[in-house]
Copies of this chain bind each other. A is one copy, B any other.
Amino acid sequence: MVPRKRNQDCLVVFQPSGRRGYVSQGKSIKAAAREIGVDIEGVCGEKATCGKCKIRIEAGYFDEYGIESRMSNVSQLCEAEGRLLSAQQQHDGYRLACQALIFGDVVVFVPEESRLGKHVMRKVPTERSINLKPAVKKYCIKVVPATLQDNLGDWERLRIELEKRFHLSNLAIDYQVLVSLQRVIRQSNWVVTVSVWMDSEVIKVEPGVVEKGYGLAVDIGTTTLAGYLCDLSNGEVMAADSMTNPQVHYGEDVMSRIGYAITHEGGCQRLNQVIVKALNQIAGRTAAGTGIKRQAIVDATVVGNTCMHHIFLNLDPQYLGKAPFTPSIHHSLNIKARDLGLRISPGAYVHVLPIEAGFVGADNVGALIAEEPYNQDDMTLIVDIGTNGELVLGNRDRLISASCATGPAFEGGEIRHGMRAAPGAVEKIEIAPDTKEVRFKVIGKKRWNTESGDTGAKGICGSGIIDAIAHLVRAGIVDRSGRFITDMETPRLRAADEGPEFVIAWANETSVGHDIVVCQKDVRNIQLAKGAMYAGAKIIMRRLGVERLDRILLAGAFGSQIDKESAALIGLFPDCALENVRAIGNAAGDGARIALLNVDKRAEAERVAKMVEYVELTMEPDFDKTFAEAMWFPHMREGFPHLQHLLHQKGTD
């Protein structure tokens, strides 16, 4: 397993996994981990700002590897590490994996909180009724065999038959299909099955009778990829698969990835290659799960936010990262799978849905064609709280979208003990208003902490943080401006160097060996994130002249995880009857699936993407004020008629 040791190579051993390998001198520990296959957390794209990739250099002679691991075998502590690591951590040999460069043999300990947990995949397709009108249709025909009296070319023979029997006129043929046409036609005694794309191009010819064609709908999330393999003859989802977007190694959010693409030679290509490889894995796995060959996939649709869209298409995202944030293209695209490196049927087209503006991309368009607010009178707000927040508001008259930099707080980033929604993450939290005692539930465990001591808690994920803050506010421990009320009589609330903090899980209830807390800074970061979302919604409501929302749809994995009462209480969105707040699952992925199964919806997507007006929030003159007011729980000034019964408890007004 370990590659041959070259001159100058250094042996790196990761503990506790024991994985090891030789890497060239000067490589960062993070890069070495990537190479060797050890997953280390990281949210900032190796810019030394998030501090999530803490590891410890183990010093001493390791007999089992025959090496001496020394602190001096890595580069000196840099300024950022001095800032992000406490004096004690520095003393104990902690480093940031993205900053420490390897110059000799080392043993690296990866503490549990820095280990990248296997992601919890929740991108399951939602049951939706979809009219079937796929782009690719199959036609089985018997071609009249050529004779000396009638030796017209094979393609012309096929074309005549397709016109005569199915009224398909002016068909073209994919060049690669043409290359094997004669052999295929003769393989099954002149009986072939022809796949025709958009009634205009033959994209596949197979020998004999082949009834079913398959399509793959793909949602490229910043954090999670989802793929749905569908039977194009009946619309059924044959297999669903999802996986962590492998680009997370290069940065957790879109801005870090853009940063990576800009600052690394060939960075854009690398990001593109890893995503294409991952999609090929999804294609291969869903096909294998369905018992078909990947070449039986004759159509594909792709959605993703503007940055994911660009990187998937190998379009340099650098211009998205700086004002005026201009994308390459808004229009939808049909590109041959082979030109994108997607290993499905080589003649197949990949339909990439159009993007709107800013980072509001094809994923949002997918959500729109799934929910069709443009066909309704109700004023609907669709909120997609992914790694990047996207909002779209409106009805049949008008639609306005906005994107806001929520930051990684909802994903557990920039939260002291935050982590992603992975096993070990505290996902539900309740605080008793009277005793201030805490009940919590951890992903991967069936029971709450109060029922079982073995919680295995490692940290808190986004839905847990939202619960925590909602309950801290309801219990009067945090006031509506976001400040801890320090004169509480509970051992859970305590003063620390960086200010007050509230203990969610005691060390003995965790698997990380220390208390898991919510600190003042965590509350501030959540305020920033939810304030941005709320302010965004408020500004587009104002643009539309709308006072009240009829309906709020929470899209994305996060929207399915959060408790909507907690979310409403902290003011993640403006007031709305809670029964009209609904999680719609992976609406972007559903949109991709809908576009896969119905070409009219592709045309609709193109129209809608053009129809949606985009508001660049940071350009709005009243943004700062709106944002500041929205940082309060649930808001500084606004009334929440639908939350009256909750807000009028003690300490919340």
A residues lining the B interface (CB < 8 Å): 146-156, 173, 175-176, 178-179, 181-183, 186, 313-316, 318-319, 323-331, 333, 335, 339, 355, 357-358, 616, 619
Contacts and interface: CB of A to CB of B under 8 A. Distances in A.
B333 A175 contact: yes
A329 B156 contact: yes
A351 to B, nearest CB: 13
B326 A146 contact: yes
Contacts of A335: 175
A148 B619 contact: yes
A146 B182 contact: no
B330 A156 contact: yes
Please give me the 3 A-B residue pairs with the lowest Cβ-Cβ distance, nearest first. A155-B329, A146-B326, A153-B327
A329 B178 contact: yes
Nearest to A333: B175
Contacts of A149: 619
A325 B151 contact: yes
Given A153-B328, A154-B327, 16 more contacts: A151-B327, A151-B357, A151-B358, A152-B326, A152-B357, A155-B328, A155-B330, A173-B329, A175-B313, A175-B333, A178-B329, A178-B333, A179-B313, A179-B316, A181-B329, A183-B316
Given A324-B146, A324-B148, A335-B175, A154 B329 contact: yes
A150 B318 CA distance: 18
Contacts of A323: 148
B330 A182 contact: no
B324 A151 contact: yes
A315 B148 contact: no
Contact of A178 (B178, B186, B313): B313
Contacts of A186: 319
A182 B326 contact: yes
A262 to B, nearest CB: 13
Copies of this chain in its oligomeric complex: 2
Contacts of A318: 182
B314 A156 contact: no
A183 B154 CA distance: 44
B331 A155 contact: yes
Contact of A329 (B153, B313, B319, B339): B153
A152 B616 contact: no
B331 A179 contact: no
Contacts of A179: 313-316
A72 to B, nearest CB: 43
B324 A154 contact: no
Contacts of A330: 152-153, 155-156
Contacts of A178: 313, 315, 328-329, 333
A465 to B, nearest CB: 33
Contacts of A327: 151, 153-154
A338 to B, nearest CB: 9
23 contacts: A147-B324, A151-B324, A151-B325, A151-B327, A153-B326, A153-B328, A153-B330, A154-B319, A154-B326, A154-B328, A156-B329, A175-B333, A178-B315, A178-B328, A178-B329, A178-B333, A179-B316, A181-B328, A181-B329, A182-B315, A182-B316, A183-B316, A186-B319
A339 B174 CA distance: 11
A324 B149 CA distance: 8
A619 B153 CA distance: 18
A396 B292 CA distance: 55
B357 A175 contact: no
A147 B316 CA distance: 19
Contacts of A314: 179
A266 B314 CA distance: 33
A350 to B, nearest CB: 10
A158 to B, nearest CB: 10
Contacts of A355: 153
A327 B181 CA distance: 10
A363 to B, nearest CB: 16
A175 B349 CA distance: 12
Contacts of A339: 175-176
A357 B152 CA distance: 7
Contacts of A181: 315, 328-329
Contacts of A152: 326, 330, 357
A275 to B, nearest CB: 15
Nearest to A325: B151
A160 to B, nearest CB: 12
Contacts of A316: 179, 182-183
Contacts of A616: 148, 151
A505 to B, nearest CB: 45
Nearest to A268: B179
A313 B333 CA distance: 27
A326 B357 contact: no
A44 to B, nearest CB: 25
A619 B316 CA distance: 61
A153 to B, nearest CB: 4
A500 B333 CA distance: 73
A316 B184 CA distance: 12
B619 A156 contact: no
Contact of A331 (B147, B156, B357, B619): B156
